[in-house]
Amino acid sequence: MTMKILITGGAGYIGSLLTPALLQAGHQVTVLDNFLFRQNSLTDCCGYDRFEIIRGDCREEPLLKELLREADVIIPLAALVGAPLCEKDKIGTRTTNLEAIQLLCKLAGREQRILLPVTNSGYGIGEPGKFCTEETPLRPISQYGITKVEAEKVVLSRENSITFRLATIFGMSPRMRMDLLVNDFVYRALHDGALIVFEGHFKRNYIHIRDVVRVFEFGIGNFETLRGQPYNVGLNEANLSKLELCAEIKKLIPAFVYLEAPVGNDPDRRDYIVSNARLAQTGFKTEWPLDRGIRELIKGFTILRNTRYSNI
């Protein structure tokens, strides 16, 4: 079924793959983006008559109200993402990550469907050996995690919504981010050959960006079954510590050398393992295991030779 889809922040890391995927599926897609990072990642979409691009801010009420008139589905990707960027701009983080979502929910009609990405960093510091499920209490630590948890509450308080609690994403995108953990580690392994790891025992879950795109497509196609609940989205086999991640990278880049030292700390304090069983029970299956994604990144970082592709 063809849908009219509005994506805020559709020229970002996720949106730059999701937008063309939805167009290829036959949907009509409108993207609202402020092009904060001067990206040109949606130029290949301009040939679609079903594609509309608006340069603007998701916090502008008159603009948002106008764009919502025709939308069947709303995917609010616009956000300041990552703890470092959010600590740098706390006002922008709150107004974009939370207040823009509150505005969206106020303006959207009951029949309009919202699919919101949030972060599983909302789980904060988990209990050793205990999987975080969607019923686990949320204890976000960073400004990023706090605003995303609050935004999720707002969205789930309406009937026609789904939220996806995304694991740490990795993989190539036309609007690349090198500051994500797997992407960063693979880049350093390939170009520096060595890495010093802090908090090496801290565990987190991972998900490939193309599986994130697929989960949004799945959510659109199975909305009535999924609606009204949050879903963890990650690889079941990839609840890994930083040191375990390094070991996986070394399997594909044998010359890679890494060691642990007390030289830093994670502002999110992420240390948990996650169960993705609820989503799996709906029939969704991931297609990109960690090793496949690492191989993709090795090819991508043969092309990209600097780290300017990041949020901070």
Q: What is the DSSP string of 39-58?
A: --TTGGGTT-TTEEEEES-T
> What band does 281 get if pLDDT is binned at 50, 70 and 90?
very high
- Give the integer Cα–Cα distance in Å for 271 and 211: 23
> What band does 82 get if pLDDT is binned at 50, 70 and 90?
confident
Report yes or no: 28 and 5 within 8 Å, Cβ to Cβ. yes
Mean pLDDT, rounded, of the chain: 94
Beta bridge partners of 194: 257
pLDDT in tens, 225-280: 999 999 999 999 999 999 999 999 999 999 999 999 987 777 767 899 999 999 99
Q: What is the pLDDT of residue 169?
A: 98
- Give the integer Cα–Cα distance in Å for 207 and 180: 11
Q: What is the pLDDT of residue 135?
A: 96
Q: What is the pLDDT of residue 307?
A: 64
Beta bridge partners of 208: 170
94, pLDDT greater than 90: yes
> What band does 310 get if pLDDT is binned at 50, 70 and 90?
low
Report yes or no: 162 and 223 within 8 Å, Cβ to Cβ. yes
Q: What is the pLDDT of residue 312?
A: 62
3-class secondary structure per residue, 207-254: EEHHHHHHHHHHHHHCHHHHCCCEEEECCCCCEEEHHHHHHHHHHHCC
> What band does 171 get if pLDDT is binned at 50, 70 and 90?
very high
> What band does 23 get if pLDDT is binned at 50, 70 and 90?
very high
Among residues of the chain, what percentage have pLDDT more than 70? 98
pLDDT in tens, 121-132: 899 888 888 999
Among residues of the chain, what percentage have pLDDT more than 90? 86
**DSSP letters of 78-104?**
----SHHHHHH-HHHHHIIIIIHHHHH
Average pLDDT over residues 176-195: 95
73, pLDDT greater than 90: yes
Q: What is the pLDDT of residue 155?
A: 98
Average pLDDT over residues 31-45: 93
Higher pLDDT, 264 or 179: 179
Q: What is the pLDDT of residue 52?
A: 98
